[in-house]
């Protein structure tokens, strides 16, 4: 540790730290633009100049290493004069268009100009003007004249997103931030550039000119998309969601969110929103009141159970639904006497797991990995924030390894990729296991493994190096027809390599769905069987089988044979085969909880009131339970449901109990052979759930277009 004196205060910081880090520790604010705690140091803006005793001139706090006994003054006349001079230079070419700027009210330049700017300018020459650029449906670069060349956006692309999509060209006054000629910004994390831009040069296209920041209320929430569980701040005006920003949580998402977390809110005002219950009568959809719709369902359920037994009823639930909704859906089915319940719509291997399958380690620890094998995942597109964590590890020397059906661009160095078609993944893992067994001098788990396969051997050797290691199974591996066998071999490899094994898990609440036992009971039908139309009555909670299941379009035809299909959704969907549509609230209009990949339980509140006659999903399920005369549906709040679901006082449970988490499988496969299996059902980046599918701007992105064209990412 090094001790310095900062404005008369003694501060201890680690050796190699900068003066800025010491100031942060001491709680002293030093004005800055280019410095960002998650990015490398550029020292390009010079706004953070401070006086260092015995130094001949002011020094940039962000790029000046601390030395023992250093005396720093941040508020001296010399420091203030230097900062004011820098501000004068920064404002020379600035258009001074604050009244119409979207950044107004949260602009660092505006804030610091009040304290350090002059009341008039000495600059009388012609100001530079930078040509507007159209680079993305998400980011506006219409006012690049405002840019102060802090290069935060450039460094973000290089270091966090892994793709240098923006760069600085020309020199001096003619310097400008731009893309390579006619290129676009396509990163799945691109929206974070808007957040870190300290001026109004990069702004949000969907939010542009829709509200002033001081008119917005700020409310915490949790992302309903992938399994990161990103913490959000939702900005609201007049009971309407205006934009979504990240809420900093170093244990989960740090200060970043993926673009689908940021821009999916556009779907909340989609023309497809369902605002009143609807019944199909004579092939036509008519709007009805809640009482009519619920009584219709209750009568239908009673008729079906009377004529065919409770086993003729089933429910397909979404892993994007809240813990509370999943618990009540399960309670409803079990209360009626039906074992037919499943959340695994995209899975091909529907054997019951031994425990709750999860990441196998904390999300934050992904940044510390020294070796990682990823099986069956387009990591960058399936889990943008996990990819970002592993990218940071790779920058520090982590060896990234992959087994997949193609070489994919993860925007990070991948040391080895073992390319095999889907039916040969088990063989590929067996080869790695055999090579690992040979390296360690132990018996291989299966006889068919080829220890001399060069890529498998390289992967095995890499997994033996380092201390922090993981074997991670992606969405394609989880949805694979041999998912259990893949896990068994991956678990053996992890054990021998002293690594953790885990699933990246697909959805916001995949782990929560397992915890709530949203799985078939004894003798119950699984998702694949229910999607074949074998039931008389089916509840669809927050899902669209055509897009959310492995059956796809075949499910539409099959479900047309079911006597009564009830869809609970925020959108007008499943119209071809549904008989009743019930409008349930999306995550912004209901309270609830999600469990992320590491088993972290995060609760959230509604940020706006429900649209039209929309009702929270848990309330609808509770009322259905009451109408059907079931016991245990006497809940007043979602917190009551959560307490019952977790079996503990609300607030006392922050994670899924450790004893329930398990990535173990019962048996190792006896033999391995290459088989012909269908490609696992994996949703593309902007097709993951109903919200992102209806977010207008996200569907204009390159990723969405390539998915529509059937081009692999």
**522-569 pLDDT, tens per residue?**
999 999 999 999 999 999 999 999 999 999 999 999 999 999 999 999
Q: What angle do CA 346, 349, 353 make, to 5 degrees?
A: 105
Tens-digit pLDDT profile for residues 89-132: 999 989 989 999 999 999 999 999 999 988 888 888 888 899 99
Angstrom distance (rounded) from CA 702 to CA 113: 38
**Dihedral in degrees, nearest 10, Cα atoms 451, 452, 455, 461:** 60
487-531 pLDDT, tens digit per residue, is: 999 999 999 999 999 999 999 999 999 999 999 999 999 999 999
Q: Which residues contact 529 (CB under 8 A, 6 or more apart)?
A: none
For range 469-498, the mean pLDDT: 96
Residue 652 dihedral angles phi and psi, to the nearest 5°: -90, -15
Mean pLDDT rounded to a whole number for the chain:
94
Half-sphere exposure of 612 (CA within 13 A, CB side): 21
- The predicted-structure confidence for 566-603, as pLDDT tens digits, reads as follows 999 999 999 999 999 999 999 999 999 999 999 999 99
Q: How far apart are CA 192 and CA 322, in angstroms?
A: 26
pLDDT tens, position by position, 305-316: 999 999 999 999
In terms of pLDDT, which residue wins out, 599 or 650?
599
Confidence of residue 177 (pLDDT cuts 50, 70, 90): very high
DSSP character for 269? G
Residue-level pLDDT at 629: 93
- pLDDT confidence bin for 181, thresholds 50/70/90: confident
* Tokens matching residue 454: 């060069």
pTM confidence score = 0.94
């Amino acid at each position: 540790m090094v001790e310095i004196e900062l404005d008369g205060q003694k501060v201890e910081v680690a050796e190699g730290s900068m003066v800025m880090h010491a100031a942060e520790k001491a709680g002293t604010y030093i004005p800055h633009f280019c410095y960002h705690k998650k990015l490398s140091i550029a020292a390009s803006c010079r706004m953070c100049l401070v006086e260092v005793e015995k130094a001949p001139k002011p020094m940039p706090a962000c790029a000046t290493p601390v030395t023992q006994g250093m005396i720093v003054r941040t508020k001296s006349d010399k420091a203030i004069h230097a900062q004011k001079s820098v501000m004068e230079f920064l404002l020379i070419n600035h258009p001074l268009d604050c009244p119409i700027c979207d950044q107004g009210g949260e602009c660092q330049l505006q804030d610091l100009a009040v304290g350090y700017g002059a009341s008039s300018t000495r600059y009388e020459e012609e100001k530079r003007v930078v040509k507007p650029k159209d680079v993305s449906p998400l980011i506006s670069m219409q006012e690049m004249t405002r840019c102060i060349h802090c290069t935060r956006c450039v460094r973000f692309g290089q270091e966090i997103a892994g793709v240098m999509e923006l760069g600085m060209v020309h020199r001096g006054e003619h310097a400008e931030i731009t893309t390579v000629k006619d290129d676009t910004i396509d990163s799945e994390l691109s929206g974070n550039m808007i957040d870190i831009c300290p001026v109004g040069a990069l702004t949000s296209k969907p939010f542009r000119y829709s509200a002033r920041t001081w008119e917005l209320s700020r409310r915490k929430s949790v992302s309903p998309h992938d399994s990161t569980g990103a913490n959000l701040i939702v900005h609201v005006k007049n009971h309407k969601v205006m934009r979504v920003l990240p809420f900093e949580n170093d244990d989960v998402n740090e200060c970043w969110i993926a673009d689908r977390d940021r821009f999916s809110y556009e779907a909340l005002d989609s023309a497809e929103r369902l605002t009143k219950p609807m019944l199909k009568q004579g092939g036509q959809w008519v709007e009805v009141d809640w009482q009519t719709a619920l009584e219709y369902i209750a009568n239908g359920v009673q008729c079906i159970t009377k004529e065919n037994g409770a086993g003729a009823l089933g429910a397909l639930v979404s892993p994007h639904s809240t813990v509370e909704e999943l618990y009540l859906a399960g309670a409803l089915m079990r209360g009626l006497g039906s074992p037919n319940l499943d959340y695994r719509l995209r899975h091909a291997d529907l054997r019951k797991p031994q425990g709750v399958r999860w990441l196998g380690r904390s999300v934050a620890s992904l940044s510390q990995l020294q070796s990682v094998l990823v099986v069956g995942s387009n990591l960058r597109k399936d889990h943008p924030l996990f990819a970002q964590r592993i990218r940071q590890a790779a920058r520090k020397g982590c060896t990234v390894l992959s087994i997949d059906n193609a070489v994919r661009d993860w925007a990070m160095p991948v040391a080895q990729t073992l390319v095999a078609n889907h039916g040969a993944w088990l063989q590929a893992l067996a080869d790695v296991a055999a090579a690992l067994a040979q390296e360690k001098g132990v018996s291989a788990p299966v006889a068919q493994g080829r220890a001399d396969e060069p890529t498998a051997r390289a992967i095995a050797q890499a997994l033996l190096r380092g201390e922090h290691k993981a074997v991670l199974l992606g969405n394609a591996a989880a949805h694979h027809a041999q998912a259990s066998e893949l896990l068994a071999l991956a678990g053996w490899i992890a054990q021998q390599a002293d690594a953790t094994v885990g699933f990246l898990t697909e959805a916001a609440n995949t782990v929560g769905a397992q915890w709530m036992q949203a799985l078939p009971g004894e003798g119950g039908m699984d998702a694949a069987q229910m999607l074949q139309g074998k039931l008389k009555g089916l509840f669809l909670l927050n899902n669209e089988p055509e897009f959310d299941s492995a059956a796809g379009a075949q499910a539409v035809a099959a479900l047309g044979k079911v006597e009564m299909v009830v869809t609970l959704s925020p959108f007008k969907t499943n119209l071809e085969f549904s008989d009743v549509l019930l409008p349930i609230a999306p995550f912004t209009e209901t309270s609830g909880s999600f469990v992320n990949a590491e088993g972290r339980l995060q609760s959230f509140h509604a940020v706006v009131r429900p649209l039209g006659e929309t009702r929270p999903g848990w309330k609808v399920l509770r009322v259905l339970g009451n109408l059907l005369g079931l016991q245990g549906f006497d809940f007043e709040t979602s917190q009551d449901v959560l307490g019952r679901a977790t079996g503990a006082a609300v607030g006392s449970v922050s994670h899924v109990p450790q004893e329930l988490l398990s990535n173990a499988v019962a048996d190792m496969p006896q033999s391995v052979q290459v088989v012909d299996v269908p490609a696992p059902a994996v949703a593309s980046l902007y097709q993951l759930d109903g919200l992102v599918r209806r977010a207008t701007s996200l569907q204009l992105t390159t990723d969405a277009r390539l998915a529509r064209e059937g081009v692999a990412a």
